[in-house]
Structure 1
Amino acid sequence: MSDLEYSLHEGVATLTLNRPEARNALSGDMRVAFARLVPQLAADKSVRAVILTGAGGAFCAGGDLRGMAESRPTATIESWRDRMRDVQPWMRQLVELDKPLIAAVDGPAFGAGFSLSLMADFVVATPRARFCLSFMRVGLVPDFAAMYTLPRVVGVQRAKELMLSAREVAADEALRLGLVMEIVPAESLMDRAGALARSFVGASPLATSLIKRSVGMSLASDLSTLLSTEANDQAMCFETPYQAEAVQRFLNKRPAMFQWPAAVGKDKE
């Protein structure tokens, strides 16, 4: 058994953090596996969407504090800096992944686990989900790209409050803050994440990629840049066979290839 399990089924890849005895805290082996698998996911055109989840009723408890404590006697500022820089290439690839990333969160998402959930495009959680940027409790700053992602999700003031207070956020508050898109029963979590992921198997890969890229750059761009980007991206999409077929399906009153799944508990339209 690997600390990070990988599966691929009909275009949907699933990454499962698999250290339930440690609430899926990030081990060295897990970091190595992420470094190997994330570039693979990014390059594999057969992967149309990715689900990130945790085993055993927990998402991820964060960094391995015991391992950090054991490393302290021989560690230096340079070695700690290198430790962080070693994981940044795959973290950047995960944030910039050109296919949808869905985080399925049950139980604690603490520290770097919270940061991992923030990398996702959509977060589906159970009522048992709890989020906490716990770094201040151990005298550290948030990492795993949280300095970039969190202010973009909740705004600067709320991001400072969550980082500096290191307080715990329950699922219902996470939904109100926009940290979570939906709350579903625990027994429905993977079914719902799977339904969201599978919807993108029928989507235009180009349009999906361009939307993610443009939204990602929107807060650092001006209006003129984004209008130019829209024009270029739309022109590329107009030239794809996918778009031509999608229009014909609409005109002929045939089902669309891309269908967003209805919310849990609601009838499909």
Structure 2
Amino acid sequence: MPQPYELIRFAVCDQVATLTFHNPAKRNAFEPRMREEIAEVVATVRRDRSIRALVLTGEGTHFCSGGDLSNIASVGLDNAGWRERLTNLHDWLQDLLTLDRPIIAAVDGAAYGAGFSLALLADFIIATPRARFCMSFIKVGLVPDCAAFYTLPRIVGPQRARELMLSAREVGAQEALALGIAMELHPPEQLQARAQALARSFVQASPVAVSLIKRALAAPGHDLATLLELEANAQSLAMGTPDHRDAVQRFLRKEPASFVWPAQP
């Protein structure tokens, strides 16, 4: 079946979905048409319960270079128009951020501006040594968008997030690893295989447990009593699942566990 998309590629294989930003002439710049296509894919993934994990990546040697400035300059919207255009992003951004299945971002080259923000929507970021992350918005008189005000401080802390947003300095791969932005670094030729291996490991994980863990981690602002109540509710649900009962029986029979995190390549 031919791809119905212009600026992305979408495929599902072995219960793993892969969304690839495909605008290589502009280093996979984030254009309005790309946003619309991503929204369609996110809706598809949320509906299709057979999909157990999602990989985000970029075509060629870059992840996403951020918003297409030539497009921004030519639109000519007033403040109300820009606000409406940006709030139209919020539904699918929230749907992606709250997706109840793991998201792995495989980052090579530039993850600038909105590209950095999109990578931060993932549960795991793996990168190549030539990956570069930058909250570049202030360089063009803008503020971070695509949920970066929510995601970045939760990963690096508010003080470092403030520094990265106000300085717009580039963060190399090794610093991204040290800051906790990236989980692993891999050579470019191994990046996609590693992303797929991580994603495929969740095909054997309990989907209920994965969903409950992601939901609980999305609410760290609650007090201890509230989190303990959330924990009790979540655990009682997890204990009633076939995945839990099967895992216990495997353990008692001294059989290998179904869910195994892939070893380093």
Structure 1 partner of 2:23: 19
SS at match of 2:111: strand
* 1:158-184 alpha-carbon deviations (Å, 9 max, x no partner): 000000000000000000000100000
- For 2:194, which of 166, 173, 192 is the aligned residue? 192
SS at match of 2:260: coil
Structure 2 partner of 1:236: 237
Structure 2 partner of 1:8: 12
Report the Cα distance in structure 2 between the residues aligned to 1:37 and 1:89, rounded to whole angstroms.
Answer: 13
Report the Cα distance in structure 1 between the residues aligned to 2:32 and 2:165, rounded to whole angstroms.
Answer: 25
**Are residue 214 (structure 1) and residue 232 (structure 2) matched?**
no
* Deviation of the 1:255 alpha carbon: 1.2
Structure 2 partner of 1:267: none
Structure 2 partner of 1:157: 159
Report the Cα distance in structure 1 between the residues aligned to 2:243 and 2:157, rounded to whole angstroms.
Answer: 36
Structure 2 partner of 1:41: 45
Report the Cα distance in structure 2 between the residues aligned to 1:197 and 1:129, rounded to whole angstroms.
Answer: 20
Report the Cα distance in structure 1 between the residues aligned to 2:200 and 2:6, rounded to whole angstroms.
Answer: 25
Structure 2 partner of 1:130: 132
Report the Cα distance in structure 2 between the residues aligned to 1:84 and 1:26, rounded to whole angstroms.
Answer: 13
Report the Cα distance in structure 2 between the residues aligned to 1:135 and 1:170, rounded to whole angstroms.
Answer: 17
SS at match of 1:5: strand
* Deviation of the 1:107 alpha carbon: 0.2
Q: Which runs of 5+ in 2 are unaligned?
A: none
* Deviation of the 1:81 alpha carbon: 0.1
Q: How many residues are treated as equivalent by the alignment?
A: 261
* Deviation of the 1:102 alpha carbon: 0.2
Report the Cα distance in structure 2 between the residues aligned to 1:215 and 1:88, rounded to whole angstroms.
Answer: 20
SS at match of 2:62: coil
Q: Which runs of 5+ in 1 are unaligned?
A: 265-269
SS at match of 1:7: strand
Structure 2 partner of 1:63: 67
Alignment root-mean-square deviation, CA:
0.7
* 1:32-51 alpha-carbon deviations (Å, 9 max, x no partner): 10111101111210000000
- For 1:28, which of 32, 36, 41 is the aligned residue? 32
Report the Cα distance in structure 2 between the residues aligned to 1:148 and 1:249, rounded to whole angstroms.
Answer: 40
Deviation above 4 Å: which 4+ runs of structure 1?
A: none
Look up the equivalent residue of 1:13 and give its one-letter code: A
Report the Cα distance in structure 2 between the residues aligned to 1:43 and 1:232, rounded to whole angstroms.
Answer: 25
Structure 2 partner of 1:109: 111
* Deviation of the 1:93 alpha carbon: 0.6
Look up the equivalent residue of 2:203 and give its one-letter code: V
Report the Cα distance in structure 2 between the residues aligned to 1:7 and 1:112, rounded to whole angstroms.
Answer: 23
- For 1:91, which of 82, 89, 93 is the aligned residue? 93
Report the Cα distance in structure 1 between the residues aligned to 2:210 and 2:54, rounded to whole angstroms.
Answer: 13
Q: Percent of aligned positions with the same letter in both sequences?
A: 55
